[in-house]
Amino acid sequence: MGTQQESVAVIGASGFIGQALCCQLLAQGYKVHAVGRSKAHLQAIFEEWQADIQLHDYSTLRETDAHIVVNLAGENIAAKRWSAQQKDRLLSSRLSATEQVNVAVKHWPSLHTFINASAIGIYGDGGDKALNENSPVGRGFSAELCQRWEESINSPCRTIIARFAVVLDRDREAGALAKMRPAFSLGVGACFGHGKQWQAYIHRHDAVKALLFLIENKELEGPFNISGPEPVTNREFSQLLANKLRRPLLFSIPEFAAKILFGEMRELFYSSQRIIPDGLLRAGFSFDFPTVDRMLDDALQHPDSHQ
């Protein structure tokens, strides 16, 4: 449980995870600094929290008195095809925020914890092998991107690298499920290829809960997989989603077609990542939505219904 004396700077506060984290930190009694590229954009998002939350753009980052920094900044890796220009944008959006924090933290004598986002893409295609935080860096653009991101961290205090799986929640406008749901709702959802590749998911509620757990357990540091404890194959996930929307699963997208549709970005859908969150499990973290079945049961409810 946080105290009024502890303050947290959340960089990338306007994002899918950042918004939820800021609100939960406030509920837990922390002082929150929401940091983003545009202060006006943050004001629109956190309008109802204006009295409780302090807003900053990057130019005023050093003015915070944070004890804890959580850096979630970075452009969505699945937003566009990976042209050379888009690859540069994905990398620069991650490195620039982390490097700004590297400079700023030198002026924060109060800082004791730095959490920087990364992703399970660092493991590349692992086939059927279970992958934990000690698994080696894989191959491919996702792995290279995550590796360079993690290597850019230069923090003098306790540092945690949060390697996120695909995050699910009820939001109809943001997040992975918002992109998948329309096709599956129309009965034209599909699995990718044979569908035997493993995939890891986590409910946004548990992702935020895990970040709070890592903040509060000050003996923990290093990389942590922010993923549910029971990964599924792509076909299992696709069938579950289709069943819950009461639609058939009739189609499969062969890799040659995905190459035309997505180019190199197809590795996001065809790489097999059987991720196990060993670090969280060994530390005693408990998931409220441990299975994809339970994640989808909640995430497919109306966004305004009580969670």
One DSSP character per residue, 124-183 reads ---TTSEE-TTSPP-SSHHHHHHHHHHHT---SSEEEEEEE-EEE-S-SSSSHHHHHHHH
Domain that holds residue 182: 7-299
Classify residue 292: in a domain, yes or no. Answer: yes
Can you give the pLDDT at residue 302? Answer: 63
Distance from the Cα of residue 16 to its chain's centroid = 8
Can you give the pLDDT at residue 296? Answer: 95
For residue 277, CA distances in Å to 223, 233, 289 come to 10, 17, 14
Dihedral sign, CA of 9, 12, 14, 16?
Answer: negative
Instruction: Write out pLDDT tens, residues 128-146.
Output: 999 999 999 999 999 999 9
Can you give the pLDDT at residue 140? Answer: 93
CATH number at residue 71: 3.40.50.720
Classify residue 125: in a domain, yes or no. Answer: yes
Distance from the Cα of residue 304 to its chain's centroid = 22
- How many domains are there within the chain? 1
Classify residue 115: in a domain, yes or no. Answer: yes
Give the 3-state secondary structure of residue 102. Answer: helix
Can you give the pLDDT at residue 304? Answer: 54
Tracing tokens 């946004």 back to the chain, one arrives at: 204
The tally of CA atoms less than 13 A away on the side-chain side of residue 194 is 5
What is the DSSP code (8-state) at residue 50? T
Classify residue 306: in a domain, yes or no. Answer: no
Classify residue 25: in a domain, yes or no. Answer: yes
Classify residue 43: in a domain, yes or no. Answer: yes
Give residues with Cβ within 8 angstroms of 158, minimum separation 6.
112, 113, 114, 218, 221
Answering whether pTM is above 0.85, one says yes
Classify residue 1: in a domain, yes or no. Answer: no
Q: Which residues of the chain have pLDDT under 50?
A: 1-3, 305-307
Instruction: Write out pLDDT tens, residues 215-246.
Output: 999 999 999 999 999 999 999 999 999 999 99
Classify residue 290: in a domain, yes or no. Answer: yes
Structure-block tokens of residue 304: 């305004």
Can you give the pLDDT at residue 172? Answer: 67
How many beta carbons lie within 10 A of that of residue 73, not counting itself? 25
